[in-house]
């Protein structure tokens, strides 16, 4: 029992059990034992499947418990998300609430299927591929998550529709590859579509993450001189959440280690964090306007300052006032500085959602 056993147990518990090798035959070597696997996840339990050999039950249980931990963390995030959306009730929030509910429902169904599958194969002492439903859940949740990420990209890049044409086509193509790979039992040639789907999804997420992060930092360039310490760390955390960096990094780890452990929970967790971030900014902005601590005159249709600058100002304790005729006046630590207004393109970034 060593590192190979640990990796084998984690890969067994968290993966969809697609054979990664291109060699012929239905056998797959996991470093500890040769286990018979089907080319695609089995729809039902098959008594002819191979017995579990060489894998430590403790590592397997630990891997599944890690998924349960991620689901518990995601549940807490989801509850907080619903609370923030409730405090910030707006008509535009209907689609975001629907997306959050759908993500949570699918992740919950996946967790139920995963635990049922785990207990079933443990009681029967047989190692079987994950059911098709887990793969369907993952692909569906990924479509919702990437759609929200494309929306964020659309908001940050001036709300110009032509910018999202290519990402939308890419998302449609990758999702089609993912769903078609489900039928590789009937058409073995379709089996190669699943790795293509994963790499296309990874490429799309990394590209959108980089573009959103670049625009985020570019919008905040005027305020970076005024922030330091914990405020700077807060800005970095905002950039990570806004750009969906967590999911992109998790996908990259999955592709490099061939481990899908907790992927269904992470793919639902990241867009929920983005929705929380959007609701928090809107709520803080509204409270600041009513209390007079930090107000930005303008409407929700795109006449306020950028969401990045709003976050920075509320973090470092600044008071910002904007008028169409005057510049942007900032008061930081009892010192007043006058800046030129943001460029007109930045006004397109005012609405987070």
Q: Which of 236, 230, 245 is nearest to 217 (CA)?
A: 236
CA dihedral for 330, 226, 158, 251, sign (positive or negative): negative
pLDDT tens digits for range 170-189? 999 999 999 999 898 888 88
Cα(146)–Cα(167) distance, rounded to whole angstroms? 9
Is the pTM for the entire model greater than 0.75? Answer: no
The token pair that represents 109 in the structure block: 């169904």
- Bridge partner residues of 36 (DSSP): 27
CATH 1.20.1070 domain span(s) along the chain: 3-287
Quote the DSSP letter at residue 339.
E
More confident of the two residues 328 and 187? 187
* pLDDT of amino acid 247: 86
* Burial of residue 46, with CB atoms counted within 10 A of its CB: 0-12 exposed, 13-18 middle, 19 or more buried: exposed
pLDDT classification of 279: cutoffs 50, 70, 90: confident
User: Helix, strand, or coil here: 181?
Assistant: helix
pLDDT tens digits for range 184-222: 888 888 888 999 999 999 999 999 988 888 887 787 766
Q: What is the mean pLDDT of the chain?
A: 68
Between strands 27-29 and 335-339, the pairing is unpaired
How distant is the alpha carbon of residue 245 from its chain centre? Answer: 8
pLDDT of residue 175: 94
In the chain, what percentage of residues exceed pLDDT 70? 56
Mean pLDDT of 34-52: 39
Judge contact between 322 and 305, C-beta under 8 A. yes
pLDDT over threshold 60, residue 34: no
Band of residue 55 on the pLDDT scale cut at 50, 70, 90: low
Q: How many CA atoms lie within 13 A of 126 on its CB side?
A: 15
Whether 75 has a pLDDT exceeding 90, the answer reads yes
Highest mean pLDDT among 122-126, 185-189, 276-280: 185-189
Q: Quick check: 333 and 225 in contact, CB under 8 A?
A: no
Average of per-residue pLDDT across 148-172: 89
Cβ atoms of 245 and 273 within 8 Å: the answer is no
Average pLDDT over residues 261-287: 77
- CATH for the stretch 3-287: 1.20.1070
The residue with greater pLDDT, 116 or 226, is: 116
* Portion of the chain with pLDDT greater than 90, in percent: 20
Mean pLDDT, residues 283-288 taken together: 51
Quote the tokens at residue 45: 């339990």
HSE-up of residue 56 (Cα within 13 Å, Cβ side): 13
- What is the pLDDT, as a whole number, of residue 217? 78
Q: What is the pLDDT of residue 331?
A: 41
């Amino acid at each position: 029992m060593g590192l190979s056993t640990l990796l084998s147990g984690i890969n067994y518990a968290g993966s969809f059990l697609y054979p990664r090798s291109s060699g012929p035959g239905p056998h797959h070597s996991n470093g500890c034992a040769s286990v018979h696997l089907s080319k695609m996840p089995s729809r039902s339990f098959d008594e002819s499947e191979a017995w579990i050999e060489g894998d430590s039950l403790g590592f397997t249980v630990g891997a599944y418990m890690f998924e349960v931990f991620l689901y518990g963390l995601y549940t807490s995030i989801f509850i907080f998300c619903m609370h923030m959306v409730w405090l910030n009730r707006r008509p535009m929030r209907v689609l975001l609430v629907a997306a959050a509910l759908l993500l949570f429902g699918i992740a919950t169904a996946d967790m139920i299927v995963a635990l049922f599958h785990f207990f079933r194969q443990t009681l029967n002492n047989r190692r079987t591929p994950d059911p098709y439903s887990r793969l369907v859940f993952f692909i569906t949740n990924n479509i919702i998550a990437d759609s929200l990420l494309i929306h964020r990209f659309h908001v940050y890049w001036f709300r110009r529709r032509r910018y999202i044409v290519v990402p939308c086509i890419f998302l449609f193509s990758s999702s089609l590859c993912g769903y078609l790979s489900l039928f590789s039992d009937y058409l073995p040639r379709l089996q190669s579509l699943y790795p293509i789907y994963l790499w296309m999804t990874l490429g799309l997420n990394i590209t959108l993450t980089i573009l959103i992060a670049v625009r985020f930092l570019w919008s905040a360039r005027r305020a970076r001189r005024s922030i330091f310490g914990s405020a700077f760390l807060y800005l970095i955390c905002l950039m990570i959440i806004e750009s969906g960096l967590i999911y992109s990094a998790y996908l990259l780890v999955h592709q490099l280690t061939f481990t899908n452990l907790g992927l269904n929970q992470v793919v639902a967790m990241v867009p929920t964090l983005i929705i929380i971030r959007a609701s928090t900014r809107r709520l803080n902005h509204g409270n600041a306007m009513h209390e007079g601590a930090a107000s930005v005159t303008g409407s929700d249709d795109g006449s306020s300052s950028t969401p990045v600058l709003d976050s920075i100002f509320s973090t470092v304790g600044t008071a910002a006032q904007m008028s169409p005729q005057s510049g942007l006046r900032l008061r930081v630590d009892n010192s007043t500085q006058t800046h030129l207004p943001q460029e007109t393109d930045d006004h397109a970034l005012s609405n987070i959602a």
